[in-house]
Structure 1
């Protein structure tokens, strides 16, 4: 039986190994398959040579692995781990022992002991090398800047209400600048090891049936804001909750009770705050949105949790006004609106890649006191803020701005991260304004909504490389030492565009670089793309065949075959009818959480994730005939929702299937590290340190979770927080850990396991009791498949005397 099984395993390598050879790949798998088939045949006929041939197969595999990937233990796992475990059985007393015992008795002998010991030693050797390579990837090529922690925090309001020193956290990123920098200094590198849970609040909001299946995602991504002595945040199903910031006790709760069944995303990243003009009712207001049907914008009294009746219609504004046909689930807001200078500014998420003519990506500015529409920036209208005439609607299908916005109140500018005109993956029918603005950061005048400038980060975007978050603002010295108001715009490709935020002109050099062209009929391609060549990029090097991974030799072999079959020419390889590897893809290197900046030392921190995707373009006829999606009669008719990976792009000649690139056993096809955390000096433009962060613990589908953590560096979804004491707080990694790093060198100073995924961005403040609290939403992420929960957790140092 063991011999027959070995033959079958050999055929599982031999036949696809020959296929790989014909594609120009490695000959190892075909040779290994021949060796296993021969070893299995000898074992099945009770011939001792089968034992020695299996040993030769293992020795040859070790030699090939070291020649290919060196002593990178994690890359040794696919071709060696499973064969080493199977080798322990081959050399056991029940196989090798019997074959070397003339009496036929089952007993240990030198062959059994030596073979089993060697296989076990090989297994251990791989993991020792893995831990060693993890340490070697903890690099710090540049010193932490020895510059004083001085300098203004940009983007704060003139009255000081938004300054970090005021112990407020009034915006998603702390201030309108979006830097996530905080001055509370009680927690330091010397005492952070004593952190403990100060309180935990349970929202009671958990996934409902079907909300984490078929590509739908339930994610608790909220970052609370703090005003006075209260925290305010929203749950995935849009309840708004106020807590006592010191005790974590609920003060009030408002439930819009919308209908969310049509939404493929259940997520809310936060709420906003507005102080009404003197004499206006509802003096302190919480601004939030409901993603139900209809999607709405509403204001609550921050003191009572009741709707502010003077806002909109009894406290609510219908976001469908001027939008035309908006089917349930096709348009709503996931990020907190930017509220500043009596304006509420927002666009919204759209169910992209479903059809042409989707709801408009118009950017709207509402009067924060009354709820009346103050202006609307519709890029296809002239002028762009021209009010709608009766019966008119905003231009459909334009790029939208779904991420968090930032603003400079002194310059009176709001910075909008724009997406792609939907559908995303075919641009042959786009309008000139689509081509002008897609995947751009645009600066609008807060008062009028008129454009001040825009900068495009991707030309003719065919990859869903929309900007997922607004830029972080920071002041940087120019060549003469003069401080210049700048911004840093992250994107999914891992570029860091540094611009003068007054003009949108590059502060550091941006070059147009030639990129691959495609061959889809009816499509055209940009010959170049902008790259921020003077800044480090956050990408990994382009993968080679040796970067292919898997849990076993069989799924690694399958990944190698796909690598050679699919089209991949590096960054910006366009979709094709023959399949394309997207690396990075629409989830990006960095997503909606963006970067964190210490504006006083001018250092940027960012989490990066590496998950290649496969993109397979299909003709509409093929997509319908294969059942990838169903036909649709168009707007005004019920929409047949497809599986999330299948994008029909109704109204275009092509649909597309986009899914993570995984092996046959669900392991990633790209070798570790799968996630890094990096620190970059914005003044010298050098990497200060970079490390693989996170383990495989708690990673896995459904209830199947890895019980042990291999320090491979793991995927993340969520941002970080930097304090004036050089501590970096984060809970974003898929292993459900909450960590505090020394921001100067990247070493982990504190680590604890959370009850669910901490896939949100933390914030901090000082409570009424004088303790510094660090708060994070712990509820998991449907896309990352971390455990779901309903907790808001506050960490603090123990009370004195405890």
Structure 2
């Protein structure tokens, strides 16, 4: 009998055999997958590791101590390989090392049964590996990959107590400049930990299929106004959440895209007082009702005006309180055109864009932008991106240009210029452009400055040329006065994009005020389409969440599904963020059409020149499919899944790039909150947002443990003068308060379900109490849904501020 072999009866029995079989099976899986990966041009590591594990397992099964040595060699080699690929980055190391640590602990424990004199050393190794494993487990609760703050912030001046009571949250961005900044200091970094639920209201309108609760309440005086995904409107008391009235527009359920991100407010009496010569305004203000009114958009393309005091339709607006937005549109198939974002009241005008069905056809309703009288509903002007000669209604028998770029998100407004700044989407269908008109190529995925008096375009700046990737401009432009480095400022438009690019443009001309360069991009487009040979890159501003992916970026819950993700990555067509679709290969799109940045937009502290924004990092796979398959009436359609793209040579199918275990195939974080220094054009701080605590794992099990992995985010941040940023759009069920100077989490309040809305805050004009309010209807990827409006406040008497 060999000296290094122990008799079977003294060598650990069945447990050692079982462990050996596990090593062999794992090794065979790694070897088989590794051979495929090498064939695709990938890493040789898995082949080598697989061979070592198979041989080590067989030796251990035979009770040969050399098997332990081979396992140790594989472990050491894995350490070297992992460091070479990802350095000391925590989350990328987890699936690479954790299986080896677990298997290594067992190997150390069974080693003495194969060679007795190794007992002390083996126990020492087992304890050391266990300590590393425990330390790694607890490290999962910490935030990794943070960028620490690089400069302190100055204290922001705030209005006095009465002025804070008189403030209002009138627009999606609170003000028309899109800052989402509240000049309040009652809740501050020192007392925010005492926040508690002040009241909760339930709408009874729980989102179903195709519906998401993304509303940001509007606050005017002692009234709070919210809408539901099915466009029901509720008026609540700001201090109690008690319902005052409700309005149900009887909107049809689209089952595809039910949204209401807010209701717009107009004070006809205040406007009439400021404009005594405006007869129309005087008549609206003198009516028996609707001197103050709300505007609501619906899934069947109605614009409804409601008396803010009673919730009753305003008889003097349109036809009995309603303007039909389908007028002039020609054919509008059900749910092919609707407003989903809050319409924007500017003076006595209401600016209306619209969401157009994604990816259905080359013949869809127009993306026309229109201004209506907020007093009467009369059409004041129209901008038809496909026909600038149509400035009101089209001639009889004609329609606005069909299938043009549209504005589905929120514009901003400069009162001095009397210009609105429009974030434009691309022309549908999103992943095909061979049929597009020159006007669509000019205005699609652009920022457009438009004169609010006439609807005439003043300038436009394109963020993606001939967009074939659904890189709409999703965020509300932020109007800021950017420092120019010489002690002066430039009136700027700062635009976030799905690409993770931040463009800073001169507000008067649309010219970049920080460096933008055109870089060559792939041009291997299918024959019947065309592509721009270059794309704009904003190299003078930080770029967030759009770094090119490599095989080393692939991830998973274990090294087995990480291997699967590596194989799929190698099989896909990937040439960077402008990878072009084809029929013969699945393409990988990153950042992807979720972003980067999305409709949540930024918050801006103008006094400190800091911009705060949430971003996602979620690659998508996609592929052209034959026309006959796309035209199958039983094929799943909608925003995700299949885009039919009728009238083009191909349909397009897409989905999130996930492992077989439902884990994203790329390394965390998947969602971040970033503070951008507008003085230095650099990241001030950055942090992952959200944990897996409420994430549903395979078999419907919730993770429970709050590993701070950084989850995909939806909705936007809100900043306050006291030095806080509030954010709620994560997969776990919390509203969070972040220190605006450092990025440190100071407080989190538990919500009944997740939220994907932007929070807001106000000071009650009656009690002087500051509230932070969030709509919680459910996180996007969670099955848990709700109908909650939750208000947080400090306990009564907890502050001496207003």
TM-score (norm 1): 0.89
CA contact (8 A) 2:500 2:546 kept: no
Aligned twin of 1:22: 39
Residue 120 (str. 1) matches residue 130 (str. 2): yes
Aligned twin of 2:24: 7
C-alpha separation between the residues in 2 aligned to 1:470 and 1:164?
A: 25
Residue 704 (str. 1) matches residue 720 (str. 2): no
Residue 766 (str. 1) matches residue 772 (str. 2): no
Aligned twin of 1:775: 773
Residue 786 and residue 738 in structure 1: after superposition, are their counterparts in 2 closer, same or farther (change >3 A)?
farther
Q: Counterparts of 1:645-724 in structure 2 under 5 Å?
A: 645-700=641-696, 703-724=700-721
CA contact (8 A) 1:343 1:447 kept: no
Deviations 1:175-215 (A, max 9, x none): 1111011112111222112111111111122133xx1xxxx
Select 1:411's aligned residue among 411, 417, 424.
417
Query: 1:794 offset after TM fit, Å?
Result: 1.1
C-alpha separation between the residues in 1 aligned to 2:635 and 2:255?
A: 12
Select 1:513's aligned residue among 503, 509, 519.
519
Aligned twin of 2:592: 585
CA contact (8 A) 1:144 1:744 kept: yes
CA contact (8 A) 1:620 1:653 kept: yes
Query: 1:586 offset after TM fit, Å?
Result: 0.2
Deviations 1:670-689 (A, max 9, x none): 11222222111212222222
Query: 1:225 offset after TM fit, Å?
Result: 0.8
Q: Counterparts of 1:303-314 in structure 2 under 5 Å?
A: 303-314=309-320
C-alpha separation between the residues in 1 aligned to 2:638 and 2:614?
A: 31
C-alpha separation between the residues in 2 aligned to 1:90 and 1:57?
A: 12
C-alpha separation between the residues in 1 aligned to 2:103 and 2:267?
A: 68
Residue 426 (str. 1) matches residue 426 (str. 2): no
Aligned twin of 2:723: 726
TM-score (norm 2): 0.89
Residue 539 (str. 1) matches residue 532 (str. 2): no
Deviations 1:621-679 (A, max 9, x none): 5xx1xxxx4446xxxxx997468322221111122222111112111111122222211
C-alpha separation between the residues in 2 aligned to 1:7 and 1:753?
A: 46
C-alpha separation between the residues in 2 aligned to 1:231 and 1:90?
A: 63
Residue 263 (str. 1) matches residue 255 (str. 2): yes
C-alpha separation between the residues in 2 aligned to 1:244 and 1:144?
A: 38
CA contact (8 A) 1:233 1:242 kept: yes
The range that moved more, 512-521 or 666-675, is: 512-521
Residue 745 (str. 1) matches residue 746 (str. 2): no
The range that moved more, 110-119 or 180-189, is: 110-119
Residue 53 and residue 799 in structure 1: after superposition, are their counterparts in 2 closer, same or farther (change >3 A)?
same
CA contact (8 A) 2:422 2:448 kept: yes
Select 1:287's aligned residue among 280, 295, 305.
295
Deviations 1:506-539 (A, max 9, x none): 2323222222222311222212112222211223
Aligned twin of 2:274: none
What RMSD, in angstroms, separates the aligned Cα atoms of the two structures?
2.8
The range that moved more, 726-735 or 687-696, is: 687-696
C-alpha separation between the residues in 2 aligned to 1:263 and 1:485?
A: 42
CA contact (8 A) 1:513 1:528 kept: yes
CA contact (8 A) 1:165 1:184 kept: no
Aligned twin of 1:68: 85
CA contact (8 A) 1:388 1:394 kept: yes
Residue 569 and residue 165 in structure 1: after superposition, are their counterparts in 2 closer, same or farther (change >3 A)?
farther
Residue 603 (str. 1) matches residue 610 (str. 2): yes
Q: Counterparts of 1:204-603 in structure 2 under 5 Å?
A: 204-208=204-208, 211=209, 216=210, 218-260=211-253, 262-276=254-268, 277=281, 278-280=285-287, 281-291=289-299, 294-478=300-484, 481-577=487-583, 578-603=585-610
Query: 1:325 offset after TM fit, Å?
Result: 2.2
SS in 2 for 1:241: strand
**What runs of 5+ residues in structure 2 fail to find an aligned partner?**
1-17, 269-280
SS in 2 for 1:554: helix
Aligned twin of 2:12: none
C-alpha separation between the residues in 1 aligned to 2:315 and 2:400?
A: 27
Residue 478 and residue 85 in structure 1: after superposition, are their counterparts in 2 closer, same or farther (change >3 A)?
closer
SS in 2 for 1:265: coil
CA contact (8 A) 1:73 1:131 kept: no
Deviations 1:704-723 (A, max 9, x none): 32111122222211111111
CA contact (8 A) 2:196 2:749 kept: no
Select 2:620's aligned residue among 599, 605, 613.
613
Residue 137 (str. 1) matches residue 146 (str. 2): yes
CA contact (8 A) 2:358 2:639 kept: no
C-alpha separation between the residues in 1 aligned to 2:293 and 2:121?
A: 78
SS in 1 for 2:588: strand
Across the two proteins, how many residue pairs are aligned to each other?
761
C-alpha separation between the residues in 1 aligned to 2:597 and 2:784?
A: 21
Residue 150 and residue 339 in structure 1: after superposition, are their counterparts in 2 closer, same or farther (change >3 A)?
same
CA contact (8 A) 2:499 2:546 kept: no
Residue 640 and residue 760 in structure 1: after superposition, are their counterparts in 2 closer, same or farther (change >3 A)?
closer
CA contact (8 A) 1:518 1:576 kept: no
C-alpha separation between the residues in 2 aligned to 1:239 and 1:248?
A: 16
Aligned twin of 2:15: none
Deviations 1:707-751 (A, max 9, x none): 111222222111111111121111122222221111111112212
Aligned twin of 1:635: none
C-alpha separation between the residues in 2 aligned to 1:5 and 1:711?
A: 31
CA contact (8 A) 2:214 2:775 kept: yes
CA contact (8 A) 1:354 1:649 kept: yes
CA contact (8 A) 2:763 2:769 kept: yes
CA contact (8 A) 2:475 2:597 kept: no
Deviations 1:128-179 (A, max 9, x none): 66567x4562422x31355x74799xxxxxxxx9x97831111111011110
CA contact (8 A) 1:728 1:741 kept: yes
Query: 1:231 offset after TM fit, Å?
Result: 0.5
Select 2:733's aligned residue among 724, 736, 743.
736
Residue 40 and residue 135 in structure 1: after superposition, are their counterparts in 2 closer, same or farther (change >3 A)?
closer
The range that moved more, 82-91 or 409-418, is: 82-91
Deviations 1:555-609 (A, max 9, x none): 1111112222223232323223323221111001110111111122221111121
Deviations 1:467-518 (A, max 9, x none): 1123011123446544432221111111111122223222323222222222
Select 2:753's aligned residue among 728, 734, 756.
756
Residue 89 and residue 324 in structure 1: after superposition, are their counterparts in 2 closer, same or farther (change >3 A)?
farther
**What runs of 5+ residues in structure 1 fail to find an aligned partner?**
103-107, 153-160, 633-637
C-alpha separation between the residues in 1 aligned to 2:96 and 2:545?
A: 26
Deviations 1:392-418 (A, max 9, x none): 111111011000121123322122111
Deviations 1:244-294 (A, max 9, x none): 01111111111112220x331222111100122321341111101121xx3
C-alpha separation between the residues in 1 aligned to 2:158 and 2:531?
A: 44
